[in-house]
Amino acid sequence: MAPRLAWLWHLALPAVLLLPAAGTAEPSPPGPCSSPRDGEDLAVSPVLLPPPAVPLSGSPSPSSSPSASPSPAPDYRHRLRTTPLGWPIQAVWCVWVQPVEPGEASNPVAARWREAVHSALAEWRTLLPIAIAPSPERAQVTIWRRRPPLGVDAAGRPRASHGRAILSLRGARGTPASGVEPRVTVLISPDQRPQALQATALHELGHAFGLWGHSDQPADAMAEAPGPQPVLRLSPRDRATVRWLYSQPSPLRSDP
């Protein structure tokens, strides 16, 4: 799950998460996600900078025994990448989830995929303001039910993945000085067990919501490599990292 420019897999704020019933049209909210999102991709959009040097909150006790295994850091902020224009975060996220079409109503795979994605969204909702957009044109994050195409690993070899998040920056009139916001396309393969589906969705949505990096601890949702059990809940380290990230100033952070 090493991050690359294409980004393969794979605060406590009030939130709004409208979950439509299966087989029904997404409701058209009167609020933050009701208008089309204009703009065009900027030339800097694929660029993510190396993790900046940021101090960690908390440090190992100086009285700890040198032979003892060091405790993991309280968060993994130092592993997050940012963009040349700032941290890719938003005040409210407009998210569109590919619906189950009427002709797929009896398709258990589509229904299972949708349930897993909305369960992952509900977990992120405990930390971030999230609203469901009625169409892809009104969303900053679009989530699609499809297998990501083959990527390339660090050694240049083809690599398959069950999930992928792709970041771009979009600006009004194509200028970084006006109306820039992050846009993320998330691809999640339906060909997984239910718990694996939910864990994949939880991880990829972490990227979508600004965590462009990985934890080095397998118990975290944003772990670089999955552990023996799927992670279905955000860990204390995940939550601490998100709270730190959303406390940072960013010119990209704006109301939708």
**Higher pLDDT residue, 24 or 166?**
166
Q: 91 in a domain, yes or no?
A: yes
Domain that holds residue 172: 40-49+76-245
Whether the per-residue pLDDT at 176 is higher than 70: the answer is: no
pLDDT for the residue numbered 134: 95
Q: What's the pLDDT tens digit per position in 15-36?
A: 334 444 444 445 544 578 988 8
Alpha helices (runs of H) in the chain, residue ranges in sequence order:
108-125, 194-208, 236-245
Q: 67 in a domain, yes or no?
A: no
Count of beta carbons in the 10 Å neighbourhood of residue 151: 18
Contact between 243 and 7 under an 8 Å Cβ cutoff? The reply is: no
This prediction's pTM? 0.81
Q: What's the pLDDT tens digit per position in 105-133?
A: 778 999 999 999 999 999 999 999 999 99
Q: Are strands 93-97 and 141-145 parallel, antiparallel or unpaired?
A: parallel
Q: 240 in a domain, yes or no?
A: yes
Q: 32 in a domain, yes or no?
A: no
Average pLDDT of the segment spanning 158-171: 87
pLDDT band at residue 81 under the 50/70/90 scheme: very high
Mean pLDDT of the chain: 82
Number of independent structural domains in the chain? 1
Q: 159 in a domain, yes or no?
A: yes
Whether the per-residue pLDDT at 240 is higher than 70: the answer is: yes
- Flag the least confident range among 80-94, 104-118, 125-139, 173-187: 173-187
Q: 162 in a domain, yes or no?
A: yes
CATH code (residue 126): 3.40.390.10
Residue 3's nearest CA partner among 144, 146, 152, 196 is 152
Contact between 141 and 28 under an 8 Å Cβ cutoff? The reply is: no
Q: 7 in a domain, yes or no?
A: no
Q: 137 in a domain, yes or no?
A: yes
**Higher pLDDT residue, 64 or 96?**
96
**Higher pLDDT residue, 227 or 3?**
227
Strand, coil or helix: 237: helix
Sign of the CA dihedral 18, 220, 164, 87?
A: positive
Q: What's the pLDDT tens digit per position in 44-79?
A: 877 899 888 777 655 444 444 445 556 788 999 999
